[in-house]
Structure 1
Amino acid sequence: MIYVFDTSSLSEFKHFYPGIFKSIRIGLDDLVERQKLVSTREVWNELQRGNPNQQVNEWLKVRKEIFTTPSLAELQFVSEIFKIPHFQGLIGQKQRLKGDPVADPFVIACAKIRGGTVVTEEQLKPNAAKIPNVCQHFDVPCIDLETFMHQQEWRF
């Protein structure tokens, strides 16, 4: 199983202090090494905007290979997502006006094309243009970080 991490879930690792929760980093490193944990370059770009968490970013900088460039098939799937007018809402007005990075459609496309599962902290909301809604529409598995940790059978 490949897990494709969204910005929101990677950002959550700031709550797991590396000196205390060492086994989380060990588990994540194992998944990275086996190429079972990936993300997209747009997630990296989102993480660099604003005020990124220094501990998380230092850990990710050493593992920057997880942030993949979209394949042609992934780019074509992003196009499929945006053919549905409602899902064009994945790109907010502020992001359009400022030219800020938008990772959501690329995360979903990466999981769809690679047969993976999206890991995000966004929640399914009726009639919303959110990652879980798009995933549900296109039959892409989508879980949150807690469910991911349960699937890994991590115990602390």
Structure 2
Amino acid sequence: MYVLDTNVIISLHKNYYRRRFVSLWKAFDQLVADGKITSTREAYHELHDGVPGADTEWAKANKKLFAIPDAKEGTFVGKIYSVAHFQANIEKQKLFKGGRNADAFIVARAHSVGGTVVTMERLKPNAVKVPNICEHFKIPYLDLEGFMENEGWQF
């Protein structure tokens, strides 16, 4: 199970046009149909906050992928925020983005479903990026190319 960060969804739609990358989208849509792709409601909200490149029509058509966090996920978000380093930076990002930040919820979803986070963010020392949170809690993560490689895709 792959848990997609908002930036991956945006990157796919912005850089891989459906009419030009037909085989990519066929493979991706098959993963969606097989229930191997998920995200979180908070990512859905980020997509609808006027993010450049966001395909809100695709998100609306696939709203079932954007799960409402359950109690287990909520508890894990609390665990993430209990780490002082993560709490301070996430709150700062939240203020910059007008109250939306799906990062902790994406990691919590992956933890809950035993999935792998797919994000465009890179691991940076002392940062509070999705990969840093994943590393701290030993949750697997990939970038978009790693996701494609993991699926054995070549185009």
Category of TM-score, reference length = shorter chain: over 0.9
Structure 1 residue 98, shift from structure 2 partner: 6.5
Q: TM-score, normalised by structure 2?
A: 0.92
Cα distance in 2 between the residues matched to 1:41 and 1:98: 16
Matching residue of 2:64: 65
Q: TM-score, normalised by structure 1?
A: 0.92
Q: Describe the shift of the 1:154–1:35 C-alpha distance in structure 2 as closer, same or farther (beyond 3 A).
A: same
Segments of 5+ residues of structure 2 without an aligned counterpart are: none
Q: Describe the shift of the 1:85–1:16 C-alpha distance in structure 2 as closer, same or farther (beyond 3 A).
A: same
2:69 partner SS: coil
Contact 1:5 1:119 in 2 (8 A): yes
Structure 1 residue 113, shift from structure 2 partner: 1.2
Matching residue of 1:36: 36
Cα distance in 1 between the residues matched to 2:5 and 2:35: 16
1:38 partner SS: strand
1:126 aligns with 2:125: yes
1:138 aligns with 2:143: no
- Overall identity of the aligned pairs, in %: 44
2:9 partner SS: helix
2:38 partner SS: strand
AA paired with 1:121? M
CA RMSD in angstroms comes to 1.6
2:75 partner SS: helix
Segments of 5+ residues of structure 1 without an aligned counterpart are: none
Cα distance in 2 between the residues matched to 1:43 and 1:147: 20
Q: How many residues align?
A: 154
**Structure 1 ranges of 4+ moved more than 4 A:** none
Structure 1 residue 25, shift from structure 2 partner: 1.5
Q: Describe the shift of the 1:51–1:141 C-alpha distance in structure 2 as closer, same or farther (beyond 3 A).
A: closer
Cα distance in 2 between the residues matched to 1:130 and 1:89: 12
2:20 partner SS: coil
Cα distance in 2 between the residues matched to 1:90 and 1:61: 30
1:37-62, CA deviations, whole angstroms, 9 ceiling, x for partnerless residues? 000010011111124436x3322221
* Farther-moved stretch of structure 1 (83-92 vs 5-14): 83-92
Counterparts of 1:1-156 in structure 2, within 5 Å, are 2-13=1-12, 14-53=14-53, 56-93=55-92, 95-96=94-95, 99-156=98-155
